[in-house]
Chains A and B, each alone.
Chain A
Amino acid sequence: MSESTEKKMVRLRSSDGEVFEVEESVAKVAKTLQDMLEEDCADAVIPITCVRAPILTKVIDYCKDQVMISSSSSTTNNPNERTEQERKAWGQKFMEGVDSSTLCELLVASNFLNIEGLLNLGVDKMVSMIQGKYPQEIRDMFNVVNDFTPEEEEEIRNQNAWAFERDPYYKKRSSSK
């Protein structure tokens, strides 16, 4: 091991009881954890009460990557350093295949742990999932029940007809009535 001091490890427990052991530097990417560690009020296992294990895994992946980028940033010609474009591409890849409910949990987790970069990635992803979608697509994506009466829905559509041009999902619904 090249480093003079032994790496300090931190243990995190997800809401469903799984314990993750990570380097302190990785945990400190989360501002909330950084504050706790600096105040020295977290020596045993830190409970992350609102984050499930699969989500916490994803969060830790993100934090590890951040540490990898920043660890050698002081040296010149850091091979891990990314251009703006690379960072964008990495973010997209990181969020690839994340479904809407996982994304919601990820957003809540990064908000709770105060990880700004991850929060921004999540919000961007959420925005891209909503953009250009028709109401029924959004309902399907987020399991929302349509509680408008057909008359109410008709009224909204008539009042904002410009926003609903060529809505293929609405035709289906009205013909099924």
Chain B
Amino acid sequence: MGSSGDFLELLGDDLSIDVLRRLDDPADLVRFSSVSHSWHQFVANNGFCKKLCTRMFPELKCCSCVVEQNNLARASQGGPSNSNEQDYNATEHRLFARLALELKSSIKKEDCISAAVCASSTDNDPDESIENTLDSSDIVGQRPSYWSSKGVNDPDVPEMLTYRLCSKLCIIEEVNIHPFKAYFQIGHPIYSAEAVRFRMGFLKNPTYGLSHSEDEDAVAQRFGGDDDSFMWTYVSPKFPMMQESCLQTFKLPQPVLCIGGILQIELLGRVQKQEMDALYYICVCHVQVMGRPLPPVFDVEMLSPDLNCMLKYCPQTDCSSCPCASDEDVNPPPTRGGWLALAARIRQSRQLGARVWSRARFLNALLGNVPVVLDDGSSSDDDDVEEGEVHIEQVVN
């Protein structure tokens, strides 16, 4: 024992743990651990920073190991070996301290959806595709914009809408859902669900890497979003849904760390039959997943199907040149890549949809009074052009 005042020695392990467990600012833990070698070891070996993180977000318990990506030599996958256990603990301490800092920061919440992955059923694809739920309006390009399930006899048949979030790690506070009111049908029925539940986790297909988001989505679409294609790290309680056409907010009991970047909305129970075919449908106009993504320095990977995850930390991701980007194939910040692809896809589908829609309307119009419209249109057009030409000539003269 050096000086009589060293409290770790005076207090012993149990009391020291009692004290350090109550430090809930990661900066305090980091500074405390920078006092001396033995204090650093004590803080790192007892994993106080990890405990702090899991106290805030119990979902993190599935992260059984960590890796720091600019320092692959030191990284130890699947648990530490004896020789570098100390190094591993130090890395874990540093990583969870940084994570705790992010988890505690209070940035304004935003919509975290980056793409629609799949719906468990779609009545008319692409007119009633899940893609439409990304748009807040119920009318886009002069046509109704919503997702519709297929119709069924049994009101208990659930539906699932699955979305990819803009980061594999997002803190989610609430989900907003706008059930669709079929304003073009008699009586304006609202095809809401009886209740909703949210699940967050991974898309289960380890053969598809992070960079192949397109392929991952294709796999999920083939599965239709059923349970077998996902690993859930969180399942929310059930929330009742109102049969009202407004953006309904479902606030989670406490903010949840979505690990894996997939959020699925379960729509449980149907309330509205369509008069025409007497089948139950669920339709959703718009979905928002409100929260905030963790910065791209953090990433997570599923190691095994029993929910064993690895938390990755890449401090250089902030800069433009990321050394680990060349180690893995391409590792773009999930946000940007996903968004661009999504935006392109939406634009494409919108254009296609809009064209189909306007052509349909044109045909409908023609079916009413074909010859008149055609004749009138063409003749007046010709007149306009001639007048224009005359006008130009006059100006030139």
Do chains A and B stick together as partners?
yes
State the A residues within 8 Å of B (CB): 100-101, 104-105, 107-108, 111, 119, 123-124, 126-127, 130-135, 138-139, 141-148, 153, 156-157, 159-160, 162-164
Q: Which of B23, B34, B101 contacts A162 (CB 8 A)?
A: B101
Chain B residues contacting A147 (CB-CB under 8 Å) are 36-37
Instruction: Verify A100–B7 contact, CB threshold 8 A.
Output: yes
Shortest Cβ distance from B40 into A: residue:
A156
Instruction: Verify B4–A139 contact, CB threshold 8 A.
Output: no
- Looking at the assembled complex, report how far the CB atom of A24 sits from the nearest CB atom of chain B, in whole angstroms: 28
Whole-angstrom distance between the alpha carbons of A50 and B22 in the complex? 26
Give the residues from 18 to 49 in chain B that come closer than 8 angstroms, CB to CB, to chain A. 18-19, 22-23, 25-28, 30-32, 34-37, 39-40
Instruction: Verify B10–A108 contact, CB threshold 8 A.
Output: yes
- Looking at the assembled complex, report how far the CB atom of A104 sits from the nearest CB atom of chain B, in whole angstroms: 4
Those 7 A-B pairs whose CB atoms lie nearest each other, nearest first? A143-B5, A163-B30, A143-B3, A163-B27, A104-B10, A135-B34, A127-B22
Give the residues from 297 to 346 in chain B that come closer than 8 angstroms, CB to CB, to chain A. none
- Looking at the assembled complex, report how far the CB atom of A92 sits from the nearest CB atom of chain B, in whole angstroms: 16
Whole-angstrom distance between the alpha carbons of A74 and B37 in the complex? 52
Instruction: Verify B10–A163 contact, CB threshold 8 A.
Output: no
Residue picked from B23, B34, B36, most chain A C-beta under 10 Å = B34
Instruction: Verify A142–B6 contact, CB threshold 8 A.
Output: yes
Question: Contact residue range for chain B?
Answer: 20 to 34
Shortest Cβ distance from A167 into B: residue:
B31
Q: Which of A105, A131, A143 contacts B23 (CB 8 A)?
A: A131
Q: A127-B22, A139-B35 are in contact. Are A162 and B98 (CB under 8 A)?
A: yes
Chain B residues contacting A143 (CB-CB under 8 Å) are 3-6
Whole-angstrom distance between the alpha carbons of A163 and B98 in the complex? 9
B383: interface (CB < 8 Å):
no
- Looking at the assembled complex, report how far the CB atom of A152 sits from the nearest CB atom of chain B, in whole angstroms: 8
Chain A residues contacting B3 (CB-CB under 8 Å) are 143-145
Chain A residues contacting B15 (CB-CB under 8 Å) are 107-108, 111, 123
Instruction: Verify B36–A132 contact, CB threshold 8 A.
Output: no
Whole-angstrom distance between the alpha carbons of A144 and B10 in the complex? 12
- Looking at the assembled complex, report how far the CB atom of B356 sits from the nearest CB atom of chain A, in whole angstroms: 53
- Looking at the assembled complex, report how far the CB atom of B15 sits from the nearest CB atom of chain A, in whole angstroms: 5
B366: interface (CB < 8 Å):
no
Instruction: Verify A138–B18 contact, CB threshold 8 A.
Output: no
Q: Which of A111, A138, A139, A159 contacts B94 (CB 8 A)?
A: A159
Chain A residues contacting B32 (CB-CB under 8 Å) are 130, 135, 138
